[in-house]
Amino acid sequence: MSKVKVSFNVSIDGFGAAPRQSLENPMGVGGEALGEWVFATRTFQRMHAADWTFQRLHKDGGTAGIDDEFFARRFLNVGAWIFGRNMFGPVRGPWPDDSWNGPWGDTPPFRGPAFVLTHYAREPIAMQGGTTFHFVTDGIHRALERATAAAGGKDVCVGGGVATVQQYLRAGLIDEVDLAICPVLLGSGDHFFGDIDLPELGYACTEHVAGERATHAIVKRRPE
């Protein structure tokens, strides 16, 4: 059965993004530390096999282990993605032009349809590797409807940012949250859960395990 899930990295103090996001720092100043646990994984390095600059820096082909297993699970059976405008990039207001195509480079790792929530319409962007960004201007429910249809029976992953995940959680639309808790302290930024009462919304932690560079926790909504 298909589900709607979230995959996200958070700091020990609960922040999902650092402050002062910009074109130079899409995850905020210091926020790149939240993704460092994935770089050594075999799955991540396979995704970047065509990036010669990356391969010159990482020649071992990546490591297996718990981190690799959980990172690979983030992409397993995912047929479509949803992102907020903030996750897609720190460009605010009307699109000034078509130059910004996200922070993931020319070949994003999603390899399928990705739906970006925004107040400003924009034509779809077909990227290398099979990712196509579609821009949705009529809210989270419509984005989920389109993503579910595009997923063709597979899962839909809400990839962020923090405000978008919170909207879907409050609306009761998320079935499962995959968290990687990273050994860094950000001090400020976007707090991932904010004031959301997960037990009240029917969620419980069903799995937790320490990886090589992050601790992984799975939070699921209890059956009604």
| pTM of the predicted protein model | 0.89
Q: Where are the domains of the chain?
A: 4-92+103-221
Q: Please list the rounded mean pLDDT of every run of 10 residues in the chain (224 residues).
A: 93 91 76 89 79 48 89 95 90 88 89 96 95 97 98 96 94 96 94 93 96 96 80
pLDDT tens sequence across 51-72: 544 444 445 667 889 999 999 9
CATH number of 4-92+103-221: 3.40.430.10
- Report the chain's terminal Cα–Cα distance, integer Å: 16
